[in-house]
Amino acid sequence: MYDMLIIGGGPAGLSAAIYANRYKMKNIVITRERYGLLAMTHLVENWPGEIKISGMDLMKKLEKHALALGSEIVDDEVVRINKQDDGNFKVITKSGKEYEAKTVLIAIGMERRKLNVPGEKEYLNRGVSYCATCDGALFTGRVVAVIGGSDSAAKEALLLTQYAKKVYIIYRGEQIHPEPLNMEAVMKKVEEGKIEIINNANVKEIKGNGSVVTGVVLDREYNGSNELPLDGVFVEIGSVPNDAILKPLGVELDAKGHIKINRRAETNIPGVYAAGDIVDDPFPKQAITGAAEGAIAVMCAFEYLHKR
């Protein structure tokens, strides 16, 4: 019987594991992808105190900390969380193991929606990114494109104008559709020549020279060519929560499938907490905010266990 079972081995899950040990709560981390999405970021420059660190190195520091204090970490996938009549949880994994826990922290993160075109996987972190906040500064003075027409895509493009000399927005629909005020800000940058919008276009391929991205192939001509030279491609066509375990549990989700939490990282189900990219934070998800939510979840779970 664990005091807290943590699902997910990213910044939120590992920070929670560290805190759970500090609070003497017996804990286990079950992670499908060790280190989470952050491990994909080749350079993290916004973890306070680390001027430059690879996502992988940062995650290994957190993992080492959690292990040093006594956490168990297992590579497996949770397929089912059942709340029992006694208020405890039974957690079942793909490998067929069963765990019992008094509280559960869901820190499973999100999966970035992929374009699923040639070159996307090959040039990941070599020009292909899913996070302007993480990687934007790497493209200072360069030419980049954001793929997508949502508010998030517009925000990514706006942020990128602070670094890149030129930002294309490539969108498959008639017209990008950010929040009006962000639309206005984008149009101002269009007037300044910093942003250029290519509507009604799909990216068919991401091209490179073997080591880095050199451009994209569009499904229509733009300025007389189907090829657009680029140094970077930011894919911002949304993320998808892995909700296979969330719906049967009955945890409340927002319209986008994120778990609704309050400032105490509590969900609608007593004893179930959530942290990190899977939650409905009203700001761009960051490693530091996920780590804080993990810590908060533990502090509040500790109180919950004492009251129970």
- Tokens found for residue 221: 């001509």
- Tokens found for residue 21: 């040990």
- Tokens found for residue 242: 């892995």
Per CB under 8 A, 182 contacts a second copy: yes
Per CB under 8 A, 20 contacts a second copy: no
Of the candidates 43, 46, 100, 268, which one interacts with a second copy according to CB under 8 A?
Answer: 46
Q: Which residues are catalytic?
A: 131, 134-135
Q: How far is the CB of 31 from a second copy (least distance, A)?
A: 16
Which of positions 266-295 make contact with a second copy (CB under 8 A)? 281-284, 286, 288-289, 291-295
Which of 11, 127 has the CB closer to a second copy?
11
Which of 119, 290 has the CB closer to a second copy?
290
Of the candidates 4, 18, 198, 278, which one interacts with a second copy according to CB under 8 A?
Answer: 18
Of the candidates 180, 193, 210, 224, which one interacts with a second copy according to CB under 8 A?
Answer: 180
Which of 93, 239 has the CB closer to a second copy?
239
Residue 192's identity, in one-letter code, is E
Which of 79, 292 has the CB closer to a second copy?
292
CA distance 215 to 169: 13
Using the contact rule CB under 8 A, the part of the chain among 12-20, 31-39, 117-125, 197-205 near a second copy is: 12-20
- How is the chain classified by DSSP, letter by letter? -EEEEEE--SHHHHHHHHHHHHTT--EEEEESSTTTGGGG-S-B--BTTBSSB-HHHHHHHHHHHHHHTT-EEEE--EEEEEE-TTS-EEEEETTS-EEEEEEEEE---EEEPP---TTTTTTBTTTEES-HHHHGGGGTTSEEEEE--SHHHHHHHHHHTTT-SEEEEE-SSSS----HHHHHHHHHHHHTTSEEEE-S--EEEEEESSSSEEEEEEEEEETTEEEEE-SEEEE-S-EEE-TTTHHHHT--B-TTSPBP--TT-B-SSTTEEE-GGGB--SS---HHHHHHHHHHHHHHHHHHHHH-
Per CB under 8 A, 296 contacts a second copy: yes
| Contact string (CB under 8 A) for a second copy, positions 91-130, x = contact | ----------------------------------------
Q: How far is the CB of 135 from a second copy (least distance, A)?
A: 11
Q: How far is the CB of 14 from a second copy (least distance, A)?
A: 7
Using the contact rule CB under 8 A, the part of the chain among 54-62, 106-114, 191-199, 204-212 near a second copy is: 54-62
Per CB under 8 A, 158 contacts a second copy: yes
Per CB under 8 A, 137 contacts a second copy: yes
The phi, psi pair for 182, rounded to 5°, reads -70, -35
CA distance 121 to 42: 14
| Contact string (CB under 8 A) for a second copy, positions 59-88, x = contact | --xx-xx--xx-------------------
Binding site for a second copy (CB under 8 A): 11, 14-15, 18-19, 21-24, 45-51, 58, 61-62, 64-65, 68-69, 133, 137, 155, 158-159, 162, 179-182, 184-185, 263-264, 281-284, 286, 288-289, 291-296, 299-300, 303, 306-307
